[in-house]
Amino acid sequence: MSTTFQRLMAVRKGKQCGFWVLLDPDKKSSQVLARYAKTMEAAGVDGFLIGSSIMVSASFERAVKAVKKAVRVPLIIFPNGSGMLSKTADAVLFTSLISGRNPNLLIDEQVKAAPAIKALGLETIPTGYILIESGNLTSVCYISNTMPIPRNKPEIVKAHALAAEYLGMKLVYLEAGSGASMPVPAETVRQVVKYVTLPIIVGGGISDPSYARKIALAGASFIVVGNALENDSTGAMAKSFAQAIHFNGIKD
């Protein structure tokens, strides 16, 4: 039986770049979130991240179960801390905020979560999480109490990504943050892809398919879209994103 990580790599191999949607249980009820996820899957989404910066509601487990029942593509927890776990999900991004210097998000939360993850039998995908300046203060920067890497300093981003590779992580996530004014620069993505061998996830502030395509052509392995699709009840916008991202190696 294939692991979730192997399924993700199969998507990467077949489509060159995968398309993920971020689901926030704080913004939609479990039933609405499940219907939305089903619509997104039909439009061409390859997987879902589920999580929230704060998680105000107490319905995380209910939301995970509802979405998992509604879709067949991987459902991966994108946690804000050690308490955001569910045995129903396919895997959890076991993230370390390596761009910051807050020990709580570098190692403390990971240590707290590890025994619970083992008890749940949940697959982990070790991920180096790197915040990049987006033009405004995002939720993740505020909550994590860390500074993002300046967007005009790709060499710093490259060094952090390489450290993630040498630490044995499986993925690198370049994040501008939810609600970012500016997404991660395509040139930064291109330089990081050339510098490390790990698959690169890019998210935050990607609001139109044309820019998503630039990120895909820069070599990203997975692109995450959230806010831009929140009101896409028919899946039309998601389909446009899917067509832009799934270029299968064909250059413009």
Measuring CA to CA, how many Å separate 114 from each of 53, 59, 92, 248? 20, 22, 11, 37
Nearest C-alpha neighbor of 99 from the set 57, 144, 36: 144
Distance CA 216, CA 194 (A): 14
Distance CA 101, CA 250 (A): 40
Q: Does domain 4-245 have CATH number 3.10.25.10?
A: no
pTM of the predicted protein model: 0.96
Domain boundaries, the chain: 4-245
Say whether pLDDT at 122 is over 80.
Answer: yes
Query: Reduced to 3 states, what is the DSSP secondary structure of residue 226?
Result: coil
- Give 161-202 pLDDT, tens digit per residue: 999 999 999 999 999 988 789 999 999 999 999 999 999 999
- Give 29-51 pLDDT, tens digit per residue: 999 999 999 999 999 999 999 99
Phi, psi torsion values for 81, nearest 5 degrees = 175, -175
pLDDT for the residue 202? 98
